[in-house]
Amino acid sequence: MSSQLPKTRQSQAAYAAQLRYCCVPPKSQNEIAEILRVDKATVSRLIKYAKDSHILAFSVMLPRELTLEGQLTRLFGLTDAYVVPIVPPKGEPGKEVFQRLLGQAAAQYMESSDSLIKPGYRIGIGGGATLRNLALALTHDRFAGLHISQLTVETHCDAFIDEAPFTLTAILYAKWRKDSHASAAHPLYIPSNLEEAPMSTEKYRVFRESVIGKAEELDTVIIGIGSAEISSPTESFSHTLKTSGVTPSDLKKQRVVGEICNRPYDEEGRDLFDFFAEKNPLLRRYTDGIELGSLQSLVARPARVLAIAGGEDKLRAIRTALRCRFVNHLVTDSNTAEALCEMP
């Protein structure tokens, strides 16, 4: 995916503000001018415009890309899309900034919507770094009278416990606890020096009954979308697959393009979790999650299934998830949105 330069003044100002104040290390005005293909004086004016229009405050308030939102909604039959301009990530520091800004944008979207979350709703949430940033950015006491549950259960080493679905469920409950309830199957914590510590049979049974068995009763689902890449040691999904014996060649043979709630799927949208679990019995002892067919049923009901995802490495995964109707709400960045609209 080639990075598209922002076209509107708002988008240019948002890019300039991110490059100057969010990048690690921050870009100089000369570097920003080169990236945006403008002169240094224009960069100064864009930064001033960002401040004057409240795009740049204590945080970067990302403007919506309404044209792209309309294109995505029409092309994939979405109920709604929320698209914001975010500088494409480069390297691990850039990826962390990207995840933080996308999570903050999703929080802004959820809190401005009058339909995603209402008193009495049953809310399900997945895991991952972007969803963790969403949970942290949401306002305390913004919602009340909810039932919150996790959508996956898995073992965790210490590197991933802060973005586990159980942790995110606890964060949301702590923020929205007024008249709310939470149910979660506690993850089995694995010290990083241990290779095998599969979840107990009882833990698995409780999760299946309390979450998976009632998945289609949910009113709003909040998920991330992962790519098929399992070589990165920072990905919880990668860790789970490797520990249970699933290899990159196994994914390639089955044409896996992505995963949702630790359930890998191919270009046709087929849920391949059971396929891999039959060949690698440890997989089901390490993780389980809401079936992709349940997500499709929720979309058809219709409930609100919100995916928060972006980035070049996730294009095929996101496109398949949209095309196969796993989700009906999407929060993403403008580069990803443009690429999705242009894909054959």
pLDDT tens digits for range 321-341: 999 999 999 999 999 999 999
Q: Which two tokens stand for residue 340?
A: 């999705």
Residues 335 and 206 in one domain: yes
Q: Which residue has the tokens 């008193």?
A: 119
Which of 62, 87, 102 marks a domain boundary?
62
Q: Are residues 50 and 152 in the same domain?
A: no
For 237, the domain range is 64-342
pLDDT value of position 188: 44
Q: What is the pLDDT of residue 29?
A: 92
* Torsional sign, CA 6, 9, 12, 17: negative
* pLDDT tens profile 205-257: 666 676 666 788 899 999 999 987 654 434 677 777 887 888 888 999 999 99
- At 189 the pLDDT is 41
pLDDT in tens, 6-44: 888 899 999 999 898 887 788 999 999 999 999 999 999
Judgement on whether residues 199 and 155 belong to the same structural domain of the protein: yes
Tell me, what's the pLDDT at 200? 59
249-259 confidence digits (pLDDT tens): 899 999 999 99
pLDDT, tens digit (0-9, with 9 covering 90-100), for 150-176: 888 776 655 577 888 888 888 888 888
Cα–Cα distances (Å) from 297 to 138, 270, 302, 305, 319, in that order, read 27, 14, 8, 10, 19
User: Is there a single domain that holds both residue 52 and residue 108?
Assistant: no
Domain final residue, candidates 15, 33, 62 = 62
CB atoms closer than 10 angstroms to residue 41: 10
- Mark whether 44 and 72 lie in a shared domain: no
CB contact at 8 A, 260 and 326: yes
Express as a percent the part of the chain with pLDDT over 70. 85
- Domain shared by 171 and 44, yes or no: no
* Of 74, 70, 95, 99, residue with least CA distance to 83: 70
Question: Of the residues 62, 89, 105, which one is the last residue of a structural domain?
Answer: 62
CATH number where 55 lies:
1.10.10
Tell me, yes or no, whether 296 and 176 share the same domain.
yes
Domain count across the chain: 2
pTM: 0.81
Q: What is the CATH number of the domain that holds 306?
A: 3.40.50.1360
Q: Are residues 151 and 24 in the same domain?
A: no
Which band of pLDDT confidence, cut at 50, 70 and 90, is reported for residue 204? low
Please give the Cα distance from 234 to 34 (Å, whole number): 31
Tens digits of per-residue pLDDT, 85-123? 999 888 878 888 999 999 999 999 999 998 999 988 999
- Both 149 and 195 in a single domain? yes
Cβ pair 257, 123 in contact under 8 A: no
Q: Are residues 3 and 111 in the same domain?
A: no
103 and 117 both lie in a single domain: yes
Same domain, 40 and 80: no
- Across the range 272-294, mean pLDDT stands at 89
Per-residue pLDDT, 198: 54
Positions of E strands within 78-140? 80-84, 122-125
Taking residues 186-194, report their average pLDDT. Answer: 43
